[in-house]
């Protein structure tokens, strides 16, 4: 039986049970002449308990199955706690809470799991999601600290280096950002996101030629990469290179980029900065 159907059945049963208990209490008071205070508090306690169960069931019915997070975050969690089903389920619950932006509760679960970790695979999964929670919550210092702990265990983790690069950009530490972007590409040279992250770094540093080079390299690994095509469109617009601008604009739009958003971005950067037109790259 599907989980959703089972959940619906339980919801109906709990509602019927609540109605039955209230009906029995009223029958007892009205027809048996039992003083209404005799069983009032006991009845209310049971009803409130069942209402709490009902709320949890209703909320749970709208949530995604944990199986979805098992598949969605397979690369991040790997085989963490695979020998302990209860802890594995708790980790998946933490993933779901992170996905729902409930960072406080997700972190509570993750730190509890961290204390239970026996293998490196357990620790790395916990530290990664701790860092992701802190990042999305805007607490960069704690996210950086978690990533650094993770790199002590797994120094060749390309994703961690790439994520650290983004955090250091936000913190204004551009030298460290470039160091981690370079390391990410060195570890995993065919990673689209590593190249597009470094391309964005170069663009931010006004190093357009390196930005173009990395964005084009990213497209070699993902020919429908909207981020890379959009960035190239903006750079060529700034360079007054209409031919290349149209070429990458077409790639970006056909790959799913919203035309209005891209036009707004182009206009924004044209208003913010300009560079001399040069040779086409």
Per-residue model confidence as pLDDT tens digits over 187-206: 998 889 889 999 999 999 99
For residue 41, tell me if it sits in a domain. Answer: yes
Q: Report, as an integer, the average pLDDT of 197-225.
A: 94
For residue 21, tell me if it sits in a domain. Answer: yes
The domain of 38 spans 3-61
Residues 6+ apart with CB under 8 A from 60: 7
The phi-psi region of residue 163 (left if phi > 0; otherwise alpha if psi is between -120 and 50; otherwise beta) is alpha
Q: What is the pLDDT of residues 119-142, one digit of tens each?
A: 999 999 999 999 999 999 999 999
For residue 253, tell me if it sits in a domain. Answer: no
For residue 149, tell me if it sits in a domain. Answer: no
For residue 34, tell me if it sits in a domain. Answer: yes
For residue 163, tell me if it sits in a domain. Answer: no
Q: Report, as an integer, the average pLDDT of 77-106.
A: 92
Are 228 and 201 spatial neighbours (Cβ–Cβ below 8 Å)? no
At residue 63, does pLDDT exceed 70? no
Return the percentage of the chain with pLDDT > 90, whole number. Answer: 65
Quote the pLDDT of residue 55.
79
At residue 72, does pLDDT exceed 90? no
The phi-psi region of residue 161 (left if phi > 0; otherwise alpha if psi is between -120 and 50; otherwise beta) is alpha
Read off φ and ψ for residue 20, nearest 5 degrees. Answer: -65, -40
Task: Output the average pLDDT for the chain.
Answer: 88
C-alpha to C-alpha distance for 236 and 151, rounded to whole angstroms: 37
Quote the pLDDT of residue 62.
47
Question: Maximum CA pair distance of the chain?
Answer: 97
For residue 19, tell me if it sits in a domain. Answer: yes
Q: Report, as an integer, the average pLDDT of 165-179.
A: 93
Quote the pLDDT of residue 59.
64
For residue 233, tell me if it sits in a domain. Answer: no
At residue 1, does pLDDT exceed 50? no
Are 242 and 214 spatial neighbours (Cβ–Cβ below 8 Å)? no
* Euclidean distance between the first and the last CA atom of the chain, given in angstroms as a whole number: 59
Residues 6+ apart with CB under 8 A from 125: 76, 77, 78, 80, 81, 91
Please count the structural domains in the chain. Answer: 1
Q: Which residue has the higher pLDDT, 14 or 145?
A: 145
- pLDDT interval class at 35 (50, 70, 90): confident
């Amino acid at each position: 039986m599907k989980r959703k159907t089972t959940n619906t059945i339980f919801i109906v049963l709990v509602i019927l049970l609540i109605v039955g208990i209230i009906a029995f209490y009223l029958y007892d008071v009205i027809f048996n002449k039992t003083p209404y205070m005799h069983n009032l508090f006991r009845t209310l306690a049971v009803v409130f308990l069942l209402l709490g169960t009902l709320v949890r069931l209703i909320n749970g019915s709208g949530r995604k199955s944990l199986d979805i997070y098992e598949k969605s975050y397979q690369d991040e969690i790997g085989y963490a706690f695979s020998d302990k089903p209860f802890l594995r389920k708790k980790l998946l619950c933490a993933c779901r809470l992170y996905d729902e932006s409930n960072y406080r509760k997700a972190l509570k679960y993750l730190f509890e799991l961290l204390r239970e970790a026996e293998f490196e695979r357990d620790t790395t999964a916990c530290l990664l999601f701790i860092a992701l929670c802190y990042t999305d919550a805007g607490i960069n210092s704690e996210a950086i600290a978690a990533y650094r702990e993770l790199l002590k265990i797994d120094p060749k983790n390309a994703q961690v280096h790439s994520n650290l690069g983004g955090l250091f950009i936000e913190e204004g530490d551009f030298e460290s950002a470039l160091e981690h972007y370079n390391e990410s590409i060195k570890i995993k040279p065919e990673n689209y996101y590593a190249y597009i992250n470094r391309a964005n770094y170069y663009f931010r540093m006004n190093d357009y030629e390196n930005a173009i080079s990395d964005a084009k390299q990213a497209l070699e690994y993902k020919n429908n990469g909207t981020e890379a095509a959009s960035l190239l469109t903006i750079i060529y617009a700034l360079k007054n290179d209409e031919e290349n601008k149209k070429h990458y604009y077409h790639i970006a739009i056909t790959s799913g980029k919203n035309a209005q958003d891209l036009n707004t971005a182009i206009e924004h950067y044209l208003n913010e900065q300009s560079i001399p037109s040069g040779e086409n790259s």
